[in-house]
């Protein structure tokens, strides 16, 4: 009898934990994509708290290769920031990109280009 009373409690407590994990996964692991200059689609991290938008040199080079018309602009002085893991990341160039974010609420396309720093790391 006692065991029968405990089973539903165990079942429901596991279900709550799984639901909580699902919400965390949805927030952290949902695949969000961004389209750059209508030619390159990439995954992105939403609202990381960063002061800058970043693009890797490899992805920038791919944009150039695809004929997007982008050009790197030298920065007046390098921008140095901290990457995940605590190491320094330096940018010496930037690029202005037209973006389309694919969000849960649908596509979002800012009217003005977004300035992204070009970093050498992926």
Q: What is the per-residue pLDDT for 6?
A: 60
Q: What is the per-residue pLDDT for 93?
A: 97
Give the DSSP letter string of 105-117.
Answer: TEEE--SS-EEEE
H or E element in which residue 77 lies:
strand 73-82
Look up the CATH number of the domain holding residue 77.
2.40.70
Q: What is the per-residue pLDDT for 71?
A: 95
Q: What is the per-residue pLDDT for 81?
A: 85
Q: What is the pTM of this model?
A: 0.70
Is residue 50 located within the same domain as residue 97?
Answer: yes
Is residue 46 located within the same domain as residue 105?
Answer: yes
- C-alpha separations of 85 from 18, 40, 89, 110 in Å: 29, 27, 11, 31
Q: What is the per-residue pLDDT for 121?
A: 82
Range of the domain at 51: 31-119
- The total of structural domains in the chain comes to 2
Is residue 26 located within the same domain as residue 77?
Answer: no
Is residue 77 located within the same domain as residue 17?
Answer: no
Is residue 106 located within the same domain as residue 72?
Answer: yes
Is residue 69 located within the same domain as residue 48?
Answer: yes
Q: Which segments in the chain show pLDDT lower than 50?
A: 10-26, 28
Q: What is the per-residue pLDDT for 95?
A: 97
Residues 6+ apart with CB under 8 A from 91: 52, 54, 75, 78, 79, 80, 81, 117, 118, 119
Is residue 45 located within the same domain as residue 72?
Answer: yes
Q: How far apart are CA 45 and CA 64, in angstroms?
A: 22
| pLDDT tens, position by position, 71-87 | 999 999 999 988 777 88
Q: What is the per-residue pLDDT for 30?
A: 58
H or E element in which residue 59 lies:
helix 57-65
């Amino acid at each position: 009898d006692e065991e029968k009373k405990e089973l539903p409690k165990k079942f429901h407590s596991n279900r709550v934990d799984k639901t909580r994990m699902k919400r965390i996964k949805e927030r952290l692991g949902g695949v969000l994509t961004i389209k750059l200059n209508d030619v390159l689609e990439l995954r992105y991290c939403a609202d990381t708290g960063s002061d800058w938008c970043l693009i890797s040199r490899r992805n920038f080079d791919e944009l150039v290769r695809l004929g997007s018309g982008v050009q790197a602009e030298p920065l007046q002085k390098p921008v140095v920031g901290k990457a995940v893991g605590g190491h320094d990341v330096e940018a010496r160039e930037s690029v202005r990109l037209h973006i389309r974010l694919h969000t849960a609420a649908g596509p979002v396309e800012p009217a003005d280009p977004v300035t992204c720093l070009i970093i050498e790391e992926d």
